[in-house]
Amino acid sequence: MISINEHYKKLNSSYLFSDIAQRVSKYQKSHPEKKIIKLGIGDVTEPLPPACINAMHKACDEMGNRESFKGYGPEQGYEFLRETIAENDFKARGANISANDIFVSDGAKCDTGSFQELFTQSIKIAVPDPVYPVYVDTNVMAGRTGNYVDGRYQDLIYLESTKDNKFVPELPENQVDLIYLCYPNNPTGAIITKAELEKWVRYAEKNNALILFDAAYEAFIQDEALPKSIYEIPGADKVAVEFRSFSKTAGFTGIRCAYTVVPESCIVYDEAGEPTKLRDYWNRRQTTRFNGVSYPVQCAANAVYSEEGQKQVKELISYYLKNAVVIREGLTSMGYNCTGGENSPYIWVETQTDSWEFFDLLLEKAGVVCTPGSGFGKCGEGFVRISAFNQYEKVVEAIDRITKLK
């Protein structure tokens, strides 16, 4: 008899953003006349930077020619891209990361979700609350979390991120082995300072723990004093893995390219307590399960780092950040407390009502889609997340509609 993985039964019946998409689609079907504005899932709307398009066209032409045609690429990504990334995203900021430490992939969602596969069942895992649901759900699937009781999985350690701690949680009271952190934060839009991030690195060193640092939104950081990478903290290369994405940085949600950094110096332990290089295991995993990102897409990603690519990407980021200002100022002027939207594309709005009720109110009365905070965890109750990813005119209209509700 073929039996299902029983742990899947512990999950909500559908993934948060699929659930929202279904609800919106159902609502739209019964109200076809309503013009819905989506500020829910963080999906980009603006076209790819011309530098990326040109690079992709050129790469497609190469694929149409026997001399320059390419079959399977390296599972780790082409060296030209990994070298460019190491140089621009890390060495230029004083972080000692080399091309060898970089694994190009088709998305930070896949990588943050898959990374837990490398660890034993019994590790103690700490996740922020609220949190990007992928970190939790993939550990549920792997059977590490225990049952879901009263809004939480019994065997996870929740790091509460609240207004009082400015959405940067305290260190765990007890020893944990794996810690998920995300800054600029999804969903709260909060940022972390170097001093705060350093405390986590020191905690990981002291406890032989590993930090999985999701930096998918680093391109939105405007304040130069803030860390864009955990490797700006000395010693982090030994205790942290970092996830980056071209999705929000350069509008790649539809063409898929991201990367994960597993430094050669990053150490985990085997069953005898002997140190072993984590990089070798991720390399083993990737070479088995993954055949690399397509050549044209890696060429497009490489073009992000060209002079014109950098200029165009900065314009894209400014575009969405301008939307974020509209959202933040609009909601603040209505009396709502807002976090984020300054170094992040997400605005975390304190609604002081049930998150799903507020979601329904915005959908039904304003035709605007947001994301209910409770979908990200217990501490998200009483909040909604509003995304700045949409066309400027639509964002202005959405805020206008919301303002008229009061």
Instruction: Tell me which residues touch ligand MLT (CB under 6 A).
Output: 41-43, 109, 132, 186
Closest approach, Cβ 359 to ligand MLT, in A, equals 14
**DSSP letter for each residue of 179-218:** EEEESS-TTT-----HHHHHHHHHHHHHHT-EEEEE-TTG
- Least distance between ligand MLT and beta carbon 335 (Å): 26
User: How many Å apart are CA 267 and CA 106, to the nearest integer?
Assistant: 25
* Nearest residue (CB) to ligand MLT, 54 versus 253: 253
Measured in whole angstroms, the distance separating CA 125 from the mean position of its chain's CA atoms is: 18
Say how far apart CA 59 and CA 119 lie, in whole Å: 38
In the complex with ligand MLT, the residue whose CB is nearer, 135 or 203, is 135
Residue number of the CB closest to ligand MLT reads 42
Closest to 158 (Cα-Cα) out of 166, 10, 357, 145 = 145
Short-list 102, 85, 98, 96, CA closest to 234: 96
Q: Is 217 left (phi over 0), alpha (psi -120 to 50) or beta?
A: alpha
Please identify, using beta-carbon distances, which residue of 43 and 155 lies nearer to ligand MLT.
43
Nearer to ligand MLT, 186 or 351 (CB): 186
Query: Residue 277 CB, nearest distance to ligand MLT (Å)?
Result: 29
- Rg of the chain's alpha carbons, rounded to an integer? 21
DSSP label at residue 153? E
CA–CA separation, 368 vs 361, rounded Å?
A: 9
Across the strands, what pairs with 347?
Answer: 340, 386
Tell the smallest beta-carbon distance from residue 61 to ligand MLT (Å).
Answer: 31
Nearest distance in Å: CB 318, ligand MLT: 20
User: For residue 9, what are its two tokens?
Assistant: 């039964």
**Dihedral, CA of residue 156, residue 162, residue 164 and residue 166, to nearest 10:** 110
Which letter does DSSP use for residue 69 in this model?
-
| Minimum CB distance to ligand MLT, residue 380 (Å) | 12
54 beta partners: none
Query: Toward ligand MLT, which CB reaches closer, 14 or 96?
Result: 14
Pull the structure tokens for residue 403. Answer: 């303002």
Between 216 and 236, name the residue whose CB sits nearer to ligand MLT. 216
* Least distance (Å) between residue 270 CB and ligand MLT: 32
Q: Nearest distance from residue 186's CB to ligand MLT, in Å? A: 5
Reported as type and span, the H/E element at residue 371 is: strand 371-372
CA distance 287 to 346: 35
Report the amino acid identity of residue 238.
Answer: K
- Least distance from ligand MLT to the Cβ atom of residue 43, Å: 6
Question: Diameter of the chain by CA atoms?
Answer: 65
Pick between residue 113 and residue 292 the one whose CB is nearest to ligand MLT.
113
As measured in angstroms, the least distance from the Cβ of 163 to ligand MLT is: 20
Q: Looking at beta carbons only, is 42 or 227 nearer to ligand MLT?
A: 42
Contact predicate 43/390, CB 8 Å:
no
Residue placing its CB nearer to ligand MLT in the complex, 201 or 362: 362
**Residue nearer to ligand MLT on the CB measure, 40 or 49:** 40
Q: How far apart are the first and last CA of the chain?
A: 58
